Structure 1
Amino acid sequence: MRYSNFFIHTLFDVPKEAETPSHILLLRASYIHPVAAGIYSLLPLGHRVAEKIKKILRDELDAIGGLEITMPVLNPAELWKTTGRFYDIGDELFRLKDRKDREFVLAMTHEEVVTDIAKQFFKSYRDLPVMLYQIQTKIRDEARPRAGLLRVREFFMKDGYSFHRDFEDLDAYYPRIFNAYLRIFARCGLKSVPIEADSGIMGGTGSHEFMLESPSGEDHFVMCTQCDYRANTEKAVGAKPSFQGLAGEAPAMERVATPQVKTIADLMKFFDISENHFLKTVAYEADGQLVLAVVRGDFDISETKLTNHLKAIHMTLASEDVLASKGLHGGFLSPVGLQGVRVVLDTSVEEETLYVAGGNEPDVHLKNVLYGRDFKCEERVDIAEVRQGDRCLRCGKGVLDIRRGVELGHTFKLGTKYTAPDSMDVTFLNASGSQQRVVMGCYGIGVERLMASVVEQWHDESGIVLPITIAPFQVEVCSLGKKQEVLDVAEQLYARLKEKYEVLYDDRDDSPGVKLKDADLLGIPVRVVVSQKLLKKEEVEIKVRQTGEVVFCPQKDLEAALEKILKGLEPSLEGLPYMPE
Structure 2
Amino acid sequence: MRLSRSFLPTLKENPAEAQIVSHRLMLRAGLIRQTASGIYAWLPAGLKVLRNISQIVREEQDRVDAQEVLMPTLQSADLWRRSGRYDAYGPEMLRIQDRHKRELLYGPTNEEMVTDLFGQTVKSYKDLPQVLYHIQWKFRDEMRPRFGVMRGREFLMKDAYSFDVDYASAVATYRRMMLAYLRTFQRLGVRAVPMRADTGPIGGELSHEFLILAPTGESGVFYDAALEDQDWLDEPVDTNNPDALEAFFTRVTTPYAATDEMHDTVAWDAVPDEQKREGRGVEVGHIFYFGTKYTQSMGVSVSGADGGQFFPEMGSYGIGVSRLAGAIIEACHDENGIIWPDSVAPFRAAILNLKSGDAVCDEMCEQIYAKAPEDFLYDDRPERAGVKFADADLMGHPWQIVVGPRSAKEGRVELKRRATGERQELSVDEALALVLAG
- Tell me by how many angstroms 1:187 deviates: 0.9
How many angstroms apart in 1 are the aligned matches of 2:185 and 2:412? 37
SS at match of 2:204: coil
Contact kept in structure 2, 1:138 and 1:155, CA below 8 Å: yes
How many angstroms apart in 2 are the aligned matches of 1:414 and 1:219? 25
How many angstroms apart in 1 are the aligned matches of 2:287 and 2:380? 46
Counterpart of 2:294?
Answer: 418
SS at match of 1:135: strand
How many angstroms apart in 2 are the aligned matches of 1:234 and 1:163? 30
- Tell me by how many angstroms 1:57 deviates: 0.9
Matched, 1:490 2:402: no
- Tell me by how many angstroms 1:237 deviates: 3.3
The letter for the 1-side match of 2:258 is A
The letter for the 2-side match of 1:472 is P
Match of 1:540 among 405, 413, 417: 413
- The CA deviation string for residues 542-575 of structure 1, in whole angstroms up to 9 with x for no partner, is 00001100000023433333344x2xxxxxxxxx
SS at match of 1:183: helix
Contact kept in structure 1, 2:187 and 2:343, CA below 8 Å: yes
How many angstroms apart in 2 are the aligned matches of 1:51 and 1:431? 43
Contact kept in structure 1, 2:130 and 2:164, CA below 8 Å: yes
Match of 1:446 among 310, 316, 320: 320
How many angstroms apart in 1 are the aligned matches of 2:222 and 2:433? 46
**Where in structure 2 are the equivalents of 1:217-296 lying within 5 Å?**
217-223=217-223, 228-237=255-264
Counterpart of 1:476?
Answer: 350
Contact kept in structure 2, 1:474 and 1:524, CA below 8 Å: yes
- Tell me by how many angstroms 1:119 deviates: 1.2
Contact kept in structure 2, 1:132 and 1:162, CA below 8 Å: yes
- The CA deviation string for residues 64-88 of structure 1, in whole angstroms up to 9 with x for no partner, is 1111111111111111111121111
Matched, 1:409 2:282: no
SS at match of 2:87: helix
**Where in structure 2 are the equivalents of 1:37-436 lying within 5 Å?**
37-223=37-223, 228-237=255-264, 392=268, 394=270, 403-420=279-296, 423-436=297-310
- Tell me by how many angstroms 1:397 deviates: 7.5
Contact kept in structure 1, 2:360 and 2:409, CA below 8 Å: no
- Tell me by how many angstroms 1:393 deviates: 5.6
SS at match of 1:60: helix
Counterpart of 1:25?
Answer: 25
How many angstroms apart in 1 are the aligned matches of 2:92 and 2:429? 58
How many angstroms apart in 1 are the aligned matches of 2:402 and 2:277? 46
> What RMSD, in angstroms, separates the aligned Cα atoms of the two structures?
1.9
SS at match of 2:294: coil
1:526–1:399 Cα change, 3 Å: closer
How many angstroms apart in 2 are the aligned matches of 1:57 and 1:48? 14
Counterpart of 1:508?
Answer: 381
- The CA deviation string for residues 264-299 of structure 1, in whole angstroms up to 9 with x for no partner, is xxxxxxxxxxxxxxxxxxxxxxxxxxxxxxxxxxxx
How many angstroms apart in 2 are the aligned matches of 1:57 and 1:514? 35
- The CA deviation string for residues 504-525 of structure 1, in whole angstroms up to 9 with x for no partner, is 1111111111111111111011
Contact kept in structure 2, 1:539 and 1:552, CA below 8 Å: yes
Q: Which runs of 5+ in 2 are unaligned?
A: 227-253
- Tell me by how many angstroms 1:437 deviates: 1.1
Matched, 1:520 2:397: no
How many angstroms apart in 2 are the aligned matches of 1:560 and 1:396? 46
1:418–1:233 Cα change, 3 Å: farther
How many angstroms apart in 2 are the aligned matches of 1:213 and 1:28? 23
How many angstroms apart in 1 are the aligned matches of 2:144 and 2:56? 30
Counterpart of 2:241?
Answer: none
The letter for the 2-side match of 1:502 is D
Counterpart of 1:372?
Answer: none
1:559–1:225 Cα change, 3 Å: closer
Match of 1:458 among 332, 337, 346: 332
- Tell me by how many angstroms 1:224 deviates: 5.1
How many angstroms apart in 1 are the aligned matches of 2:272 and 2:204? 28
How many angstroms apart in 1 are the aligned matches of 2:215 and 2:360? 48
The letter for the 2-side match of 1:510 is E
1:530–1:221 Cα change, 3 Å: closer
SS at match of 1:40: strand
- Tell me by how many angstroms 1:502 deviates: 1.8
- Tell me by how many angstroms 1:215 deviates: 4.5
The letter for the 1-side match of 2:425 is F
The letter for the 2-side match of 1:515 is K
Instruction: Name the % identity.
Output: 43
Contact kept in structure 2, 1:194 and 1:210, CA below 8 Å: yes
The letter for the 2-side match of 1:188 is L
How many angstroms apart in 2 are the aligned matches of 1:20 and 1:426? 45
- Tell me by how many angstroms 1:396 deviates: 8.7
The letter for the 2-side match of 1:59 is E
Contact kept in structure 2, 1:156 and 1:448, CA below 8 Å: yes
Contact kept in structure 2, 1:224 and 1:398, CA below 8 Å: no
1:556–1:91 Cα change, 3 Å: closer
1:206–1:558 Cα change, 3 Å: same
- How many residues are treated as equivalent by the alignment? 410
TM-score by length of 2: 0.89
- Tell me by how many angstroms 1:223 deviates: 2.5
SS at match of 1:88: coil
How many angstroms apart in 2 are the aligned matches of 1:439 and 1:119? 13
Contact kept in structure 2, 1:222 and 1:400, CA below 8 Å: yes
How many angstroms apart in 2 are the aligned matches of 1:10 and 1:396? 47
- The CA deviation string for residues 314-349 of structure 1, in whole angstroms up to 9 with x for no partner, is xxxxxxxxxxxxxxxxxxxxxxxxxxxxxxxxxxxx
The letter for the 1-side match of 2:189 is G
- Tell me by how many angstroms 1:232 deviates: 3.6
Structure with greater helix percent: 2
How many angstroms apart in 2 are the aligned matches of 1:470 and 1:486? 30
Contact kept in structure 2, 1:94 and 1:140, CA below 8 Å: yes
Contact kept in structure 2, 1:458 and 1:465, CA below 8 Å: yes
1:35–1:65 Cα change, 3 Å: same
1:165–1:222 Cα change, 3 Å: same
